[in-house]
Amino acid sequence: MPLIKFGIDTRKRRKPMPIYIRFEHNKQVETTTLESKPIGNDWYEAPKNFDWQKSYQLTEGGEIAQRSQEDIELELLQNAKFSALSNLRAYYDNYTNQYTGVSHQKSKSYQIQEKAAKSILADQDEKDKEIIEPLAKVRGITVIEMARIIEEKAKKAVKEIIKCEELEDITKKKIAEAKSKNELENLLNDFKQKIQRNG
């Protein structure tokens, strides 16, 4: 039974395991408690005043220092910008796929039809007629009429895609200059509305 003298417990207290922090690009990315330092050069033993609720960084001199709130918010905003750019591209692709084709095969098919339509309207090439004739039969119209429809669709597609690219470029610049997550959300919503109105 352990001895207790004058209200002091003489039992040996277990020494707490040291805390280790892993850094990437001088920013804290992982924290753990282990008896010995993990393998790898990115691990550092945490300072004695380490706080689990705070975030840390490595200084140029290799010292561990607490990150400022401003620095953390700036990093979060940067991550939000990367996400916004990814979403922007997804919206652009989803919208323009109706003109370019979702797959490579579909895109190639559109190109072949457009080329055939131009050829038919120019000199009514028999081989090109064979490409468009099945579509014309399904719609109950002549090959010439079908060729005109395809050509008009191709012209419209070019205009839509150019306008969409312009809107995407403008939005990219605004995303780079954005100061808050709320501003980023508004920019994405505005882009979606504009390309839908554009169509």
Q: Which domain holds residue 32?
A: 16-67
Cα distance between residue 58 and residue 41, in whole Å: 13
Cα distance between residue 23 and residue 161, in whole Å: 43
The reported pLDDT for the residue numbered 189 is: 95
pLDDT band at 151 (very low <50, low <70, confident <90, very high): confident
For residue range 168-192, list pLDDT tens digits in order: 999 999 999 999 999 999 999 999 9
Sign of the four-CA dihedral 75, 77, 81, 84: positive
* Whether residues 76 and 61 fall in one domain: no
Among 32, 67, 102, the domain-final residue is: 67
Q: Domain count of the chain?
A: 2
* Whether residues 81 and 51 fall in one domain: no
pLDDT band at 116 (very low <50, low <70, confident <90, very high): low
Average pLDDT over residues 158-168: 87
Give 43's strand partners.
22
For residue range 59-80, list pLDDT tens digits in order: 988 899 999 999 999 999 999 9
The fraction of the chain above a pLDDT of 70, given in percent, is: 77
Return all residues near 24 (Cβ < 8 A) that are at least 6 apart. 42
